[in-house]
Amino acid sequence: MAHKFVRAVFPGSFDPITNGHLDVINRGIKLFDELIIAVGRSPVKNQLFTPRERVEMIAELVTDIPGVSVESFDGLTVEYAAKKKADVILRGLRSLTDVQYEFQLAMTNRAVAGIETIFVMTSEQYGFTSSTLIREVATLGGDLSNLIPESVRNRIRQRLKKVALDS
């Protein structure tokens, strides 16, 4: 039987990208031929990094992973996935709270756009990590060494220094 080429989209804000996200990316690419990390341009305030900066940060981290690319997008994830001719949407799950929200989203995406969602459980050590939590800990000067890559920590440090100087 011939192998079917499978393209997946892994959407998120990635503000900033965490070790948990990288864990999902590294396990996800083993399941698919191509994985597009899709950085959403959300109108949400209090963003640490611009979509362009997030794409740059992620691109640096995944440059050595064959089949993985990064881009930003506007609008609905399902529309973006359709435009990219993606077969599935990849999502990481951390907790039961995630399951409830993601289940609704996956059902809606399938009903509206006919696209399947594949879930990957995050590794235990990243189960509590979220970009929101990372931003809070960083702002308060906490140790993020186990939660995010060093290159991202350095960028956060620089950004917070700039914010402090500007205020």
CA distance 77 to 158: 31
Residue 134 backbone phi and psi in degrees, to 5: -60, -45
Question: Catalytic site residues?
Answer: 21, 45, 94, 131
| Cβ(62)–Cβ(70) below 8 Å | yes
CA angle 157, 159, 165 (to 5 degrees): 105
Q: Is the peptide bond before 16 cis (omega within 30 degrees of 0)?
A: yes
Nearest to 79 by CA among 113, 111, 55, 39: 113
Q: Maximum Cα–Cα distance for the chain, whole Å?
A: 62
